[in-house]
Amino acid sequence: MTETHHDVYSKTIFGFLVYLLTDFMMFATLFATFGVLRHSTYGGPSARDLFHLPFTLTQTLILLVSSLTVGLGGAFAHRQQKNKTLILFGITFLLGIVFIGMEFSEYGQLIRQGASWKRSAFLSAYFTLLGTHAIHVFLGLLWMIVLIIPVFLSGLTEASVRRLSCLRMFWQFLNVVWIFIFAIVYVIGVSE
Amino acid sequence: MNSDTSFKLVFVGFFISLLLTLGIYFLGVGHYWSGLTLMSVILVLAGVQAVFQMIYFLHVGIESKPYWNLITFLFMVLVVVVVIGGSIWIMYNLNYNMMM
């Protein structure tokens, strides 16, 4: 019996989901570290002194909207609508750039204030957790460029729809991780 | 699943997430509760939002039998609860017992 395209598709999606779940476990260890060390400021600034919630809310909403646009892009790819797929993945890419730009401007601001990862265990845990998320977003953006160009040049094939689905899942997974960063690191950190 | 279903899922997931995100934010800045109550409410809202996004965006749990996606997801949740809960529990007791 030969494998149908549908089998290849659903096996790939399942395999990719398993990868994402293991990535969640890695983030869980970083969250555990942060949870343990969040009060260990060693006389340095705490979350309340450093973070500005409206800024973070803006970032959160940008990432949430990009999760919507990438979901719509994935659905249009399944419908073989090339232009709409390209536009929505393009919007997602731009939102991702804005998000990561805000992320790095915040790191820059913290470091200029003397609140770098060297200052305290709390800040080391903060930069490790947030830095790992930012690297994921950065790699997601690179991946998006790599996938979009062939779709632009030669249209949506069986393989490119499958790859775009994996990218969509990866991007939405990053948003799920960010919910916890927003809630635990920022909102609980500032209101505590 | 056909693409009409996934359009609907994406929009429903987005609006639920938007409401929960704003809920978390206004609870945080509003000073209605504080301390452990606030922390628990925010963690519950974040957890609910994560579950909604797993279902509506990543389509976990809306497959047909034998539910492999759902089973692996629940296993991940178990491991995460053990890792985070266990670390915080142990380190809290360690801090508590080391204080002179």
Residue A73 has pLDDT above 60, yes or no: yes
For residue A106, the SS3 value is helix
pLDDT (average), residues A138-142: 98
Burial A96-109 (b: 16+ CB within 10 A, else e): beebbebbeebbee
For residue B57, the SS3 value is coil
pTM score, two decimals? Answer: 0.94
Instruction: In whole angstroms, give the CA distance from residue B14 to residue A35.
Output: 28
Q: Which helix (H) or strand (E) segment is A60 a member of?
A: helix A53-78
Distance between B71 CA and the closest CA of chain A, angstroms: 11
What local confidence, expressed as pLDDT, does residue A110 receive?
96
ipTM score of complex: 0.92
Here the tokens at position A100 are 């990561």
- End-to-end Cα separation, chain B, in angstroms: 61
What residue in B sits closest to A73 (Cα-Cα)? B7
pLDDT (average), residues A12-26: 95
What residue in A sits closest to B11 (Cα-Cα)? A68
Helices (H), chain B: 3-30, 35-56, 68-98
What local confidence, expressed as pLDDT, does residue B3 receive?
63
Per-residue pLDDT of chain B (100 residues; tens, 9 = 90+): 566 778 999 999 999 999 999 999 999 998 888 889 999 999 999 999 999 999 999 999 888 878 899 999 999 999 999 999 999 999 989 888 887 5
Domain ranges of chain A: 5-191
**Does the A5-191 domain belong in CATH 1.20.120.80?**
yes
What local confidence, expressed as pLDDT, does residue B1 receive?
57
Residue B30 makes CB contacts below 8 A (sequence gap 6+) with none
